[in-house]
Amino acid sequence: MSWLLLSWLGLVGLPATAQVIYQGGTNVQFLYGRNLKQSGDLATVTLEHFGGYGALEHFGFADLFNDVSLQSPSLYLEWYPKVSLSRAFGREIKSGPLSDVALAGGINVLFGGSEDFFVYTAGPAFRFRIPGSGLLQLETYYYKQHGGQYHGTYQFTPSWDIVLPVAVKARFRFRGFMDFIGDRGPGRTQYLTQPQLFYDLGNAWGKPNKIFLGTEWRYWKNVAGNAGLEESILQANLLLNL
């Protein structure tokens, strides 16, 4: 993590030319769906938060999930702090479609599973220029699961969040990510994607970006590194920006 420390030192060494104000947002999602590969329904409550303070930015979420009874739910957390090099050093780092580079780290933690699960990640993230105010980025990480039997591997995660203005009153939002995680010893290469398509209900009432109704498809090949285990869940999703 020495590269993250160096970036932080570069940040604090910049002259304070203006007040830096924290900017961020939070949403809560309510999901309900059926596992298409196995029997059983799934209910999930997701809390997401993102924000930035000068050159520092971060994204995190918490999933509370189980079958629809929610009698013994599991809690899964991910958090990713980043340092924008463009903002840290006061000049744009860009080339062609590339609009910024960030140095990032992350943690993944599961509470309530059959065994302890803790992962840390570190590596660069690349942000790309797209029309409008949407997001398109690629995170590239060294991925290490806690435990002596696991060795380090790679993780590639493209993610996106794009507004689709079909008409004045009809606005859609397409967002999601894909995780590609390599073999880590006891655990095969795995692939997870969760694309979401939302309709902006609030926009129809003159209050855009407040309430979204849509769907999410979660597909996971070699679930948690278990060879041959697949998960395919189609879910209804209600998203509220807080």
> DSSP letters along the chain, please?
-HHHHHHHHHHHTS---S----EEEEEEEEEEEEESSSS-EEEEEEEEEEEEETTEEEEEEEEEEESTT-SS-EEEEEEEEEEEHHHHHTS---BTTEEEEEEEEEEEEEESSSS-EEEEEEEEEEEE--STT-EEEEEEEEEEESSTT---EEEEEEEEEEEEE-SSS-EEEEEEEEEEE---SSS--EEEE--EEEEEHHHHTT-TTSEEEEEEEEEEESGGG-TT-EEEEEEEEEEEE-
Q: Which residue has the higher pLDDT, 11 or 111?
A: 111
Q: What are the tens digits of pLDDT across the range 123-178?
A: 999 999 998 889 999 999 999 999 989 999 999 999 999 999 888 889 999 999 99
Evaluate if residue 3 carries a pLDDT over 90: no
Evaluate if residue 114 carries a pLDDT over 80: no
Model confidence band, residue 18 (pLDDT cutoffs 50, 70, 90):
low
Report yes or no on 122 lying in a domain: yes
Report yes or no on 145 lying in a domain: yes
Report yes or no on 222 lying in a domain: yes
Evaluate if residue 234 carries a pLDDT over 60: yes
Q: What are the tens digits of pLDDT across the range 20-79?
A: 899 999 999 999 999 888 777 889 999 999 999 999 999 999 999 887 655 678 999 999
Q: What are the tens digits of pLDDT across the range 94-109?
A: 999 999 999 999 999 9
Evaluate if residue 6 carries a pLDDT over 50: no
Report yes or no on 215 lying in a domain: yes
Residue 68 CB-half CA count within 13 A? 8
By mean pLDDT, which of 176-180, 195-199, 227-231 is the weakest?
227-231
Report yes or no on 17 lying in a domain: no
Show the domain range for 194: 31-40+84-241
CATH number at residue 124: 2.40.230.20
Could you tell me the pTM of the whole model? Answer: 0.88
Asked if residues 48 and 72 have their Cβ atoms less than 8 Å apart, the reply is no
Give the residue-averaged pLDDT of 1-17. Answer: 43
Report yes or no on 15 lying in a domain: no
Report yes or no on 66 lying in a domain: no
The pLDDT mean for the chain works out to 89
Q: How far apart are alpha carbons 165 and 163 in whole angstroms?
A: 6
Give the residue-averaged pLDDT of 205-218. Answer: 95
The number of domains in the chain is 1
